[in-house]
Amino acid sequence: MITFDSDAVIDPVSFKEVLAAGGVRAATIGKADDGLVVVLRIANKDRILGQYRGGPRYFSSLDGAGSVLVQHGIFQWETDAQGWVPRTLARSNKRDNNRLASAVS
């Protein structure tokens, strides 16, 4: 799980400026409390991709987070999804649990 403070968040405009200058060294998609986040390695520090209106940008899917990276020309990244459950799997498990509960009743 990724933890961070507000100083670690980089807004989208600054991200694009750093990216244009070649300052993004690596990217990782990781799990945070409220979803997945994109972690950018900039000047030997990890920065979390933020939203225009402030705060970190959370993603609900690897596809969404990966799409943002690809749209900005980043085609290689690491993923640490330990503890993250995709929505489709969570729905499937909930359905299975509901079926089991009704079969037992």
Work out the pLDDT band at 96, boundaries 50, 70, 90. Answer: low
The pTM of the full predicted model, rounded to 2 decimals, is: 0.79
Domains of the chain by residue range: 6-104
> Which two three-digit tokens encode residue 29?
């998609």
**Position 90 confidence tier, pLDDT thresholds 50, 70, 90:** confident
Q: Write out the two tokens for 61.
A: 């899917």
Nearest to 36 by CA among 4, 13, 60, 70: 60
Most confident of 3-7, 54-58, 67-71, 82-86: 67-71
* Distance from C-alpha of 102 to C-alpha of 1, rounded to nearest angstrom: 35
Report residue 4's pLDDT band, with 50, 70 and 90 as the boundaries: low
Q: What share of the chain is helix, strand, coil (3-state, %, to 5)?
A: 40, 30, 35
| pLDDT of 93 above 80 | no
